[in-house]
Chain A
Amino acid sequence: MIDSSKIIEKLEKGLMTFSAEPKMQSVGKVEKNTDGIIVASGLYKAQMGEQVVFEGGALGMVLNLSEDYASIALLSAEENLKRGGSVKTTGRMTSINVSSALLGRVINPLGEPLDGKARIKHGELMPIEAVAASVVEREPVNVPLKTGIKAIDAMIPIGRGQRELIIGDRGLGKTAIAIDSIINQKQNKKPVTCIYVAIGQKQSSVAQVVDKLLEEGAMNYTIVVAAGASDPAPLQYLAPYAGVAIAEYFLKKGEDSLIVYDDLTKHAWAYRQISLVLRRPAGREAYPGDIFYLHSRLLERAVKLNSKNGGGSITALPIIETQGSDISAYIPTNVISITDGQIYLQSDLFNSGIRPAINIGNSVSRVGGSAQTGATKSVAGKTRLELAQYAELAAFAQFGSELDEATLSQLERGKRTTEILKQPQYHPLPEHLEVLSIFAVTNGLLDSVLLDDFQKFEQEYHQYMIKNHMKIIEELSLGQKITERLGKDITEATEKFKKTFVI
């Protein structure tokens, strides 16, 4: 229990630095309130994006400056807002208070806690809007960011500092991929700081995500920034920028972070709503003219800095929800052109039991092999091509004609490759087990295993290898290219296990 005299002593010490000089502030008067956008007269010295305070203490952000008026987005609920009320500028741009104390917390885009725990410790004020790092400060992406999902790490590898879009219809597992990527970061010796930005989501969905992260022990290195469906549109608009401002705090310290924007479609809707209320000219699909800039300036802040500038990185996983699998719509095409690749989820694959439902043909990582270790590269190199060949053959085989042995074996191999790439949710795999599985299937070691037993086989196979062949596991964990000797050892161990595998 803190003594009251100590509290008084602290307060007196704090007040020593207080200066009671008279204050001059730019003030305005509230003229109109339309759907969360306040039109205020005066405020001639207000800057674009400046934070303002209303009479009752509510915060706002200046979004439009015209000759006689300033349009302000209301960022928090204000019950006593009335016409003629005063609004003052604060002299600072909209920013968020960031410190390491944010790890494990759920906050709103203004930095206020939503998890019912203590106030966030005073840290550094990071600007919500900031210029992205320049070309000379960057270096090419060359360090892998492991998601723990075999299909992605093998064929669509993501590197630290990359922007990889996750795109698909509702309910296909976009958020699941992002959450698995976050959970998998605990495998690293030094976990990558993860930021999950929930934009326009249901509160129940955000609560489920937080619960899952807590259960898997991932909340220790994760920050959740939530602007739910019931929050004002300006708050939803600010949420991803608040998230990347937090990531930039860790970037300054030379650390790596992963940020998930879930999802940018709702972000675009929120910005459209604000722009229409501000009477900005509406363009295609009623989006404002700068809708591309909204996302490009956000995603450009994902960066891999060179060692001279700290060597840190921000990896971005934006999520876009399509309608009817239409990736040629306005917002999806915008974001596809900005990002360094996309992971395309398809409903046909999902319904046929292939989960994660990744369409390998339409998915790409523009960083490619630079973001893979030698081990993964050596086993996964052929996988994409083999799957593409299998897809062609499978269509041909449907006609029921007699096929030669080589074609039949290729079909069987393709089925097993597809089967090995299936993975249950919330079960990201460490790299050595991913390499093991893919090595086994691409080298034909699993050709004799029945398809129905595959998932069970893989699980028991992993347990067997960890228990009985730790040396192989340790060698695979080094991430180096698989040598001939190591390949032989894995083959022998796998054959031994196959004899003991019981259905």
Chain B
Amino acid sequence: MSTFIKDYIEKETINRRNFLLASAAGLGSMAMPMAFGKGAAFAAENPALAWSYRDRASAYWNSVVSGGEAFVESIGKTKEDMVSLINEGSSEKSLADIKAFLAKNSGNCAIACDANDSPNARPVVEAVKEAGGYISTIWNKTDDLHPWDIGDNYVSHMSWSDEKPAEDTARILFAAMGGKGGVVHLGGIPANNPAVKRLNGLKNALKDFPEIELLDAQPADWDTTKAAELMASFITRYGDKITGVHCANDNIAYGVIEALKAEGITGMPIVAYDGNMEAVQMVMDGDLLATVFTNPHWGGGVSLALAYHAAIGTFKPSEEPNEHREFYGPTILVTKDDAADFKAKYLDNVPTYDWTDFWGPSNGGIVYK
């Protein structure tokens, strides 16, 4: 631990020094193209590659990383050529690591990144721009930050529209409930964007089912243990009134199923989200009605591919339409009918993607409300 802190302080100190150097270099590189003519993009050779993300303790991020590695191998490099910048849920660390990486490689970088929280996206992309690197982000950014306002260095942003898929799972749930009864929602961390969207999706579907009552919706923090305890409390409060459960992700559904098991309740209609291996198996076994797969492997690969190809000059981001700079990732609904096919296609064998087909599987440009 003490070495961890010591290392961290050392890194921060070096980082601050390098940041000054990098800023100077960044200014230099910005001035350079101007000398050679207006706005001529710098085609970098062999940029250093990095993925910046939260942690390795979840199936989701591991899948993102596996996509990044698959892309790196597709361009004839080894997995080790992609550096993992793990922010451990800290925006400060996210920014500090990226600045250090830029400084180490004199800005010749292609980075894919989830900035950990929305406000952190701006300082991250500005640091990358200043150093002359290229970055693609996923999930977190504020609505007023757009790649086209920053320039070619901010290549793209990908997010997932969770509202519609969550609405679809809610409709499947309500149909299984026979169009009437009581439903409880166990959500993610309250302020998390996807948590809000997934609850909204449920509420949208409720409008078409007047005989279904939303009994309660409370956060379970994406956590299996918390979900089991919350579900147990729901059972005390609502008892038999609960005839369906809408979960914000798969981990929550696992806890719900165990809480019901403890009560000897079987056959409760439950829907989830994320399309993890275990959840898909549960859909096949009939323990879950549906889950939603967001293909994190593809998201992880294509984000890094976009940054890389922009860096080496394969395409010029500013010449692309806005829906190629900000777009939704794919969402696939998994139900009992297609779970076996889905598992064989996406989970048992990871498909080989064409990493230059940047927008093929995507779901259209991001729409702000």
Partners in one complex: no
B interface residue numbers (CB < 8 A to A) = none
